[in-house]
């Protein structure tokens, strides 16, 4: 999961940037997506950056009960290879992991792990959120879910990947991109 939209206050270090108004709306929607569609994680590994922590805290409030969370400084500013190293250290008893971090590393990681899989159709929810869902490859043509990730992996994006095996054995092309969601919170009209 990429952190929600952040603010850019003057004089604040990148690591200390807070969530902006849109991020404060979208982060809880990410939690609702996790609760309703992606499943509750067994473990969360989160960047220590303020905007990533804030995203997870607001998303976690939408879940039933606490989820074990590890702040990992390696996630901040990491590229795909460094993030894969983080995943390789996850205990095998963890079935579902949520990694909360930043671009371009997360986008690169999704593309590395799921290269060549998935097809997409776009679905807009009643709350204005946009979600990609797998469809028949013949019906969709060459536009795949990975193409959508390559085009844009925006703030609050959640990529759901599946695979069989151990965390330490996870590698390039070893996962399937099963879902891509871009949860959005309700916009104020007045």
Which residues face 46 on adjacent strands? 71, 100
pLDDT of residue 148: 85
pLDDT of residue 120: 36
Residues 4-40: tens digit of each pLDDT: 999 999 999 999 999 999 999 999 999 999 999 988 9
- Name the token pair of 190: 């007045």
Q: How confident is the model at residue 159 (pLDDT cuts 50, 70, 90)?
A: very high
Which residue ranges form the domains of the chain, and what is each CATH number?
14-182 (3.40.50.1240)
**Residue 164: pLDDT above 80?**
yes
Q: How confident is the model at residue 84 (pLDDT cuts 50, 70, 90)?
A: very high
- The CA angle 72-165-95, to the nearest 5 degrees, is 55
Query: What's the residue count for the chain?
Result: 190
pLDDT of residue 187: 66
The pTM is what? 0.84
**Residue 188: pLDDT above 70?**
no
Mean pLDDT of the 137-144 span: 37
């Amino acid at each position: 999961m990429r952190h929600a939209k952040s603010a850019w206050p003057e004089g604040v270090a990148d690591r200390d940037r807070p969530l902006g108004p849109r991020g404060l709306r979208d982060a809880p929607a990410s939690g609702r997506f996790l609760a309703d569609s992606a499943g509750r994680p067994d473990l969360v590994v989160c960047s220590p950056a303020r905007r990533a922590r804030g995203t997870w805290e607001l998303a976690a409030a939408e879940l039933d009960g606490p989820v074990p969370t590890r702040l990992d400084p390696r996630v901040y500013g990491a590229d795909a290879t460094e993030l894969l190293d983080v995943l390789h250290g996850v205990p095998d008893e963890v079935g579902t992991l949520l990694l909360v971090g930043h671009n371009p590393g997360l986008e690169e990681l999704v593309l590395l792990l799921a290269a060549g899989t998935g097809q997409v159709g776009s679905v807009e929810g009643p709350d204005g959120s946009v979600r990609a869902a797998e469809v028949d490859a013949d019906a969709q043509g060459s536009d795949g879910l990975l193409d959508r990730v390559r085009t844009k992996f925006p703030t609050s994006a959640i990529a759901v990947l599946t695979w069989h095996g151990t965390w330490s054995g996870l590698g390039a092309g070893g996962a399937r991109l099963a879902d891509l969601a871009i949860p959005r919170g309700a916009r104020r009209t007045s």
